[in-house]
Amino acid sequence: MSLIMTTTTLKQQVFVHHVIEHQLPHNNRLITTQEYGIGQAPVNIALSKYWGKRDATLNLPMNSSVSISLPDLGTKTTICITSTQQDAIWLNNELLSNNHPFCIRLTAFLNFFRPPNSAFQVHTTNTVPTAAGLASSASGYAALVLALNDLFQWQLSTQKLSLLARLGSGSASRSLYSGFAIWHRGQQDNGLDSYAEPIDTQWPELCIGLIKINVQQKPISSTTGMQNTVNTCDLYQAWPQQAEKNMQTILEAIYINDFEKLGETVEHNALSMHATMMATWPPIVYWQPESLAAMQTVWLLRQQGILVYFTMDAGPNLKLLFPETEKPAIMQAFGDIQIIMPFNKN
């Protein structure tokens, strides 16, 4: 396959070919009639977490997961092909050096789709901080795959785009959708049944609040952190089964709009994930003192009868869940909180 360069593994080559094979010309080379491609995707917040891979090469998760996407927060990417020797990648209007970690990872992904003797020019803009535990890689790779689909005019189904996005970042599989989405763990070793799809339900009163404790790049990436957890944490053995059980409860709560069941399960799921991180060696602790202080505020509010729960990804920042009726109390308790209503069209 001439479209794949040597920095990719045979397993990844086969996977990509299976996903896009019907969109390739007879000579098996990627061609484009478009000058550039554009893609835009939202960040998503995992309500039941993905932590750990059953296959790191193909980003296949140990367990399925459910998420909620946040409109107006995410990534916009524009891509074109050039005849230069190296890729040129801009992040938030800054040209990055080719040895920047962001470029190294992005270039490796682009190698799957690179026509012979060419390079890519990529302009990507994030409306959330990059690599800070706020799901920028999820929206980033989803937007990139959408831009590639536009550039090469593949006209792939959203399910196939989800498969390709997963190869760049596991949680990116869920950022192809608005609202709720479920990422299926899948059973096949080739990874073709591990994709996300939308959950067809609305919850107009649901609010998500972002508490940004620290938006700097986190010291341990999610990829490194979860692999260390799988390799060294004895507590992790119980995680996949609990995560699947939590996911089913969360799905039930979503379908019947049971906020307390949703909030309790989401918060417990997040704390359980972080418990496996802390029991990893060396321990992985993304929390900062302000993170714990925010948690304690949430617990105090609940004691006062305020319906609010939190979740946390691999980072120090909290995401609150609460019904619209609790907005005044939440804004009073967290003055600088950013509140999003995922299903509010206004």
Any idea where the domains of the chain sit in the sequence? 10-198, 206-340
pLDDT for residue 5? 40
Give the pair of three-digit tokens for residue 286: 């993304």
Q: What is the pLDDT of residue 346?
A: 58
Which CATH architecture group holds 10-198? 2-Layer Sandwich (3.30)
CA distance 25 to 154: 11
What pLDDT sits at residue 130? 58
Structure token pair of residue 228: 């260390």
3-state secondary structure of 235: helix
The C-alpha atoms of residue 150 and residue 116 are separated, in whole angstroms, by: 19
**Tokens standing for residue 279:** 């029991």
Contact 74, 91 (CB under 8 A): no
Instruction: Tell me if residue 156 falls in helix, strand or coil.
Output: coil
Question: For position 136, what pLDDT does the model report?
Answer: 84
- The DSSP secondary-structure symbol of 130 reads T
CA 239 to CA 230: how far, in whole Å? 10
Name the percent of the chain in helix, strand, coil, to the closest 5. Answer: 40, 20, 40
Q: What is the pLDDT of residue 141?
A: 97
pLDDT of residue 133: 52
Tokens (6 digits) for 83: 């005849």
| Predicted pLDDT at 121 | 97
pLDDT at position 6, please?
Answer: 42
Give the per-residue pLDDT at 1: 32
**CATH class for domain 206-340?**
alpha beta
Model pLDDT, residue 214? 87
**Which residues in the chain show pLDDT less than 70?**
1-8, 24-33, 129-135, 345-346
Q: How high is the pLDDT of residue 218?
A: 80
pLDDT value, residue 4: 36
**For residues 30 and 24, what is the distance between their CA atoms, to the nearest angstrom?**
6
CA 196/CA 198 separation, integer angstroms: 7
